[in-house]
Chain A
Amino acid sequence: MTVLEDLAPPPQVEVRPRGISRRERWQLRLPLLPALIYTIVVTQIPFLVTLWYSFQSYFWNTSSGAHFNGLSNYKTVFTSPAFRGSLVRSVVMTVTAVIVAMILGVALAVLLDRKFFGRGVVRTLIITPFLVMPAAAALVWAGPMLDPNFGLVNWLLEPFGVHHVAWLSTHALGSVILVMIWQWTPFMTLIVLAGLQGQPADTLEAAKVDGAGALATFRELTFPYLRPYIELGILLGSIYLVNVFDAVRLMTNGGPGTSTTNLPFYLFQEVNNAFDIGGAAAAGVVTVILTIIVATFALRMFARVFQFEEAGV
């Protein structure tokens, strides 16, 4: 909420319509109250409880219950190599997946924008991965696709001299990122395709008349035109992919070792395997603060880019 307010400070104008009393104004706002209360109950109260737990030593596997232990959970979070490692992996996974998916998305969108026989069918097929449930996609990739003994990928690669590669052991992080890319490329394609279809045909025609090649047209006209769409895709993709859990949990369970443990999975394990409620709460609070900082910067950057675009057009 604060992020959005930072992004667009509300205009300081008198919104109060003339001739309406203060009382009537609140009556008009009354219908919003349930939504406001609901939002507070489901987001802010849990956050306050988490904050409270983050100052407690509370382990589910001991019978001693919860007791105050000051900042020691936060000290553990900041000194723990496991937390730092999962933070770094979260960044690596998100950035790689978003960038590769966007490059593939632009390429596919440009291809799909052309007219050819069966275009509707091809578009539907290309979009399908995004419609598959993330958990189902992760299971299909972990089993039938990447299994070292029975997997389709190894079978396809066998003629090229690849034998029984245990993808999920030897290339675990790469395999998880691959599935993220596979799932999110269609989303990027859709967004960029929407942009492409809004591109005015006359500009392209003019470029053609002026003798511009396909590459030059793309670089000088199409790409600048697509920039806001690409930025939107990157922003939305990052927001979703930084939270990726299904693929990690179902494909590698964070392993081997901790090689695919990202922040959401680390938090899950702190509760589910270490039963360390205080430590998990502290890690959660730190994660929220980091996310707010990153999101604020990202949104400000995009806001500036959008304004620049508008001014430039």
Chain B
Amino acid sequence: MSSPPFRLRTLGAVGSVAALVALAACSSSGGGSSTNSSSGTVTVAVVSNPLITGQMIPLTQSVFEKQNPGITVKFATYTEGDLRAAIQKDVATHSNAFNVIMIGPYETPLFAKSGWLTNLSTQFIASDPGYGAGDLLPPIAKALSYKGDLYAVPFYGESSMMFYNKALFAQAGLTMPTNPTWAQIQTFAAKLNVPGKQSGICLRGLAGWGDNMAALDTVVNTFGGQWFNMNWQPQLTSPAFESAASFYVNLVRKYGEPGAANDSFNQLLTLYGQGKCAMWYDATVAATSIATTYPSVFAQTGYALAPVNLTKSSGWLWTWALGIPQGTANAGAAWKFVSWATSQQYDQLVAAKYGWSAVPPGTRTSLYNNPQYQQAAKAFAAITLASINSVDPEHPTLNPVPYVGIQYVDIPQFESLGLTVAQQIAGAIAGTESVSQALQAGQSAASQYTPAQLSGG
């Protein structure tokens, strides 16, 4: 249906359209020159959880934007997995859709190494003495640093611990020690599990390295397991890793909540808040949410340190922190927002509006020295601080490992590897495969990388 002239002309037209598209692409990616303008629009990518959607976003609108009339803050809210994807795409392609990104100890050093983040210490904190970076809890500040400089500052910080229902424990004549072992937890769970009424223990099963693997990794560590040995050879089928994974999967299958393979923090918070869990092992920050959302359950809640087996402590370390991508526009305005949302004054604002027990925990020493906070959060403040101070991401397990990270391995490949293993474990929790099948699949996924690739050499 064609004659040559037509074809040529069509091609010409298509070619010019393609050229236009290419030009547009160039101009959008090439326009990333940094400006330090301290006004304008600041777009912030955040994770969807109660401390952010319930406090940070409304307070930004009612307080921050009023105090800074030149700055408009827009929020893009994502679940954890989607947030990672959106941010990764944004920084890797330099699209600069976000002026502020919410990241954690996994991303911060990797992004900083790739040159994707603004050095907050030299660019802003050095000339902003009122910020009080020295007040940040040392383990949290260290986790957000690269070569000694901060590349993100914490909005809240957490370790992991055990929550339990004191009334149920008293009824059954059980006593929870402050520093329980996993063997004790299993005994308690067996006694307290009443199918159809309450689960002995609620645990994460949802596939995701920040979801089920976060909890499982702490069990692996305290059972003496590790992801890689010192030569970067994967160790997922080692006896220690396998016994830890079997323990976790059996515990949740026997005494855990039904449908565990779809549950993570938000689902478990709801279940626990409705009295459906005798125990719940999760992030320390859950105490703040229980206190504000479920006061009657909060009154009955007891706290214990993360359970152990072979190590002395086993809590994880995480913080949702704010960073500024390299080359973003309005960096000055972005820092204004970041420093406000992570400041001591922000804590005062939350306290005035929502009460001291609702203040984002785990970032600043001054909060834990504040008598009002000590009073309002006396049930969980001390144990949260003790949990965070007990972590050592450089020595997460019994034996030395070549990587940094407690509930993750701080290498780029872990994003994909962690998810693959998490899916296999979720399959084992759902009963579609055995633990050893799951770990063998994980081991072969880990084996596709060479030690040189993994070590970054």
Binding site for B on A (CB under 8 A): 10, 22, 26, 33, 36-37, 40-41, 45, 59-63, 147-149, 163-170, 172, 252-259, 269, 271-276
Contact = CB atoms under 8 A, between A and B. Distances in A.
B92 A61 contact: yes
Interface string B284-309: 00000000000000000000000000
Interface in B406-429: 412, 415-416, 419, 423-424, 426-429
B13 interface: yes
Given A45-B21, A163-B196, A275-B92, A149 B430 contact: no
Contact of B416 (A22, A33, A273): A273
Contacts of A62: 114, 412
Nearest to A276: B416
28 contacts: A10-B1, A33-B10, A33-B13, A60-B88, A62-B114, A149-B257, A149-B271, A149-B276, A163-B195, A164-B196, A165-B258, A166-B258, A166-B261, A168-B259, A168-B262, A169-B429, A172-B430, A254-B207, A255-B261, A256-B205, A256-B261, A256-B423, A273-B81, A273-B84, A273-B419, A274-B416, A275-B85, A275-B416
Contact of B424 (A36, A45, A252, A257): A257
B433 interface: yes
Nearest to A23: B5
4 closest Cβ pairs, A-B complex: A257-B427, A166-B259, A256-B430, A63-B114
B92 A259 contact: no
Nearest to A272: B85
Interface of B: 1, 3, 6, 10, 13-14, 17-18, 21, 81-82, 84-85, 88-89, 92-93, 110, 113-116, 195-196, 205-207, 257-262, 271, 276, 412, 415-416, 419, 423-424, 426-433, 438
A164 B195 contact: yes
A200 to B, nearest CB: 41
Contact of B92 (A60, A147, A253, A254): A60
Contact of B430 (A33, A169, A271): A169
Among A36, A41, A167, A258, the one with the most B-chain Cβ atoms within 10 Å of its Cβ is A258
A69 B248 CA distance: 41
Contact of B415 (A147, A258, A273): A273
B415 A256 contact: no
A170 B427 CA distance: 10
Contacts of B423: 254-258
B427 A274 contact: no
Nearest to B433: A257
Contacts of B207: 253-257
B88 A61 contact: yes
Contacts of B10: 33, 36-37
Nearest to B88: A60
Nearest to A65: B92
A168 B260 CA distance: 10
B93 A60 contact: yes
B412 A61 contact: yes
Nearest to B448: A76
A147 B115 contact: no
A72 to B, nearest CB: 12
A269 B116 CA distance: 23
A165 B438 CA distance: 23
Among B84, B85, B93, B276, the one with the most A-chain Cβ atoms within 10 Å of its Cβ is B85
Contacts of B1: 10
Among A59, A63, A170, A273, the one with the most B-chain Cβ atoms within 10 Å of its Cβ is A273
Nearest to A275: B88
B419 A274 contact: yes
Given A41-B14, A255-B261, A255-B430, 10 more contacts: A37-B14, A168-B259, A255-B262, A256-B262, A256-B423, A259-B430, A259-B432, A273-B85, A273-B416, A275-B88
A175 B113 CA distance: 44
Contacts of A272: 81-82, 85
B415 A61 contact: yes
A257 B415 contact: no
A135 to B, nearest CB: 14
B28 to A, nearest CB: 16
B262 A252 contact: yes
A60 B87 CA distance: 10
Given A36-B10, A37-B17, A255 B426 contact: yes
Contact of A170 (B17, B271, B419, B431): B431
A152 B164 CA distance: 29
A165 B259 CA distance: 8
Given A26-B6, A60-B93, A41 B17 contact: yes
A303 B412 CA distance: 51
A293 to B, nearest CB: 25
Contacts of A149: 257-259, 271, 276
A254 B432 CA distance: 13
A257 B113 CA distance: 32
Contacts of B258: 148-149, 164-166, 169
B15 to A, nearest CB: 11
A169 B261 contact: yes
Nearest to B13: A37
Contacts of A169: 205, 258-262, 429-431
Contact of A256 (B3, B84, B412, B426): B426
B214 to A, nearest CB: 16
B12 to A, nearest CB: 11
Contacts of B259: 147-149, 166-169
A167 B206 CA distance: 14
A169 to B, nearest CB: 4
A63 B88 CA distance: 11
Contacts of A61: 88, 92, 110, 412, 415
Contacts of B433: 257
Contacts of A36: 10
A167 B424 CA distance: 18
B17 to A, nearest CB: 6
Given A33-B13, A36-B10, A273-B415, A257 B92 contact: no
